[in-house]
């Protein structure tokens, strides 16, 4: 009985570990040096050209040209997994270019993405009457994050059988709520 229990626990831990590392390694590991948006826009563009960056944010616009796709992204700082922290303030915009066709139905407005690529140069973008100089990144790896689970339930219970009940099987008076 003990050996069966140990075997089940080992199998479960291997399955969980196998599912946890579904991200591309370029997205998981930040390049060195890991430059932020403010470091790039305040630095010398000639010296920074060709540096590897890992940036992310939400999609603003997708433009498919004859030989490449341009995506305008609203920059957010990344968490330790490389996912944009959309609860923090946005810091600016950047443009990424990919030689692949990126379908606007998949890379839709407000979708969260993380890109690893080379800093090319600055590009000029006109937003309303304002002309902006934005960093331009040539994408090497692009990851589209799945939508966040915003069903309104507070995450007290990590077990799936509690999910239909916003407070578990217990009264909300015994647990803090927002």
Residue 136 is assigned to a structural domain of this protein: yes
**Does residue 172 register a pLDDT over 60?**
no
Residue 40 is assigned to a structural domain of this protein: yes
Comparing 12 with 30, the larger pLDDT belongs to 30
Residue 112 is assigned to a structural domain of this protein: yes
Distance CA 131, CA 169 (A): 55
What share of the chain has pLDDT > 90, as a percent? 43
The DSSP string of 58-113 is EEEEEEE-SS-EEEEEEEE-B-TTS-B-TTSPP-EEEEEEESS---TTTS-TT-EE
Structure tokens at 157: 């219970």
Q: Which of 107, 123, 127, 126 is nearest to 115 (CA)?
A: 107
**CATH at 116:** 2.40.50.140
Residue 71 is assigned to a structural domain of this protein: yes
Residue 161 is assigned to a structural domain of this protein: no
Residue 138 is assigned to a structural domain of this protein: yes
Q: What count of other Cβ atoms lies within 10 Å of the Cβ of residue 166?
A: 13
Give the number of domains in the chain.
1
Structure tokens at 168: 């578990």
Q: Which of 156, 161, 159, 162 is nearest to 176 (CA)?
A: 156
Comparing 11 with 162, the larger pLDDT belongs to 11
What confidence tens digit (pLDDT) does each residue in 28-75 have? 888 888 888 998 888 887 788 888 999 999 999 999 999 999 999 999
pTM higher than 0.75 = no
Residue 6 is assigned to a structural domain of this protein: no
Domain extent for 139: 30-144
Residue 113 is assigned to a structural domain of this protein: yes
Which pLDDT belongs to residue 52? 92
Which pLDDT belongs to residue 45? 75
């Amino acid at each position: 009985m003990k050996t069966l229990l140990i075997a089940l626990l080992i199998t479960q831990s291997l399955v969980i570990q196998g599912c946890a590392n579904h991200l591309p390694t370029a997205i998981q590991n930040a390049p060195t040096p890991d430059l932020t948006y403010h470091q790039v826009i305040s630095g010398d563009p000639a010296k920074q050209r060709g540096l590897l960056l890992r940036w992310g944010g939400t999609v603003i616009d997708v433009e498919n040209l004859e030989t490449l796709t341009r995506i305008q992204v609203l920059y957010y700082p990344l968490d330790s997994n490389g996912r944009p922290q959309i609860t923090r303030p946005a810091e600016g915009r950047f443009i990424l270019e990919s030689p692949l066709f990126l379908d606007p139905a998949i890379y839709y407005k407000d979708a969260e993405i993380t890109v690893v690529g080379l800093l090319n140069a600055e590009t000029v973008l006109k937003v309303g009457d304002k002309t902006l100089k934005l960093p331009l990144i040539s994408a090497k790896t692009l990851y589209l994050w799945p939508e966040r689970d915003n069903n309104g339930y507070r995450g007290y219970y990590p077990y799936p059988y509690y999910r239909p009940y916003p407070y578990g099987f217990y009264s909300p008076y015994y647990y803090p709520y927002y």
